[in-house]
Every structure is written in C-alpha cells, then in structure tokens.
Structure 1
C-alpha cells in the first residue's frame, strides 16, 4: 500500500504544471472525505491532485 501511495504522489508532482482546469462537485461520505483530506494534508498534496491521478488511471484501465 505504501508503494502505491508513493507512485501516486510521484504522479501528482509530475502533473502540477498542467494549468487548464474545470470545476465539478461530488458528494462523499463525511468520514471518508475527512480522512482523505487528512491524508492529503499529511502528504502535502491537494485532494484534486490525487483525484486527477486516480481518474486518469481509471480511464486508462489500470
């Protein structure tokens, strides 16, 4: 699990230069969102950066 997180964080850093963004709203369970926010803050990344990586991997079928 730690290795997967490291890979994800590396991808987040690689994408920070991209500039064009769109806004969208999602609804999450409060507990899940609070924990996700806490982990992102601990890792010094934004929730958006992490979600972008997950979305791109999902699209690619990984």
Structure 2
C-alpha cells in the first residue's frame, strides 16, 4: 500500500519526493488527496508533513 510506504519514509525528504513523483504520474485528482498528506511542500512543518493549509492550497 503506497500510503504506508510514504508514511514509513516520511523522515527522508528526498525519498519522499521521488516516491510521490512516481505515484502522481498516473494518479487521479481524488487519489491525490490521500497522497498529499505525506508529500513534501514548502509549507510543511519540520517533520516534513503537509499542513492542512498547504494541502488545501495544492488541491485548489
């Protein structure tokens, strides 16, 4: 399950970016909502977890 893989790797920002780039290549917008939780953006907190505001921005 990709969500679990992402959660397990969340301490490694570079691995996260690679993982999510691969996942998002062939994913629908509804599936992205789940993946965004562990995607690294500029508006993430120190643990690299997407904040609610950041997630809403990406989905808008």
State TM-score, norm by structure 1: 0.29
Larger radius of gyration: 1
More helix by share: 1
Greater length-normalized contact order (CA 8 Å, ≥ 6 residues apart): 1
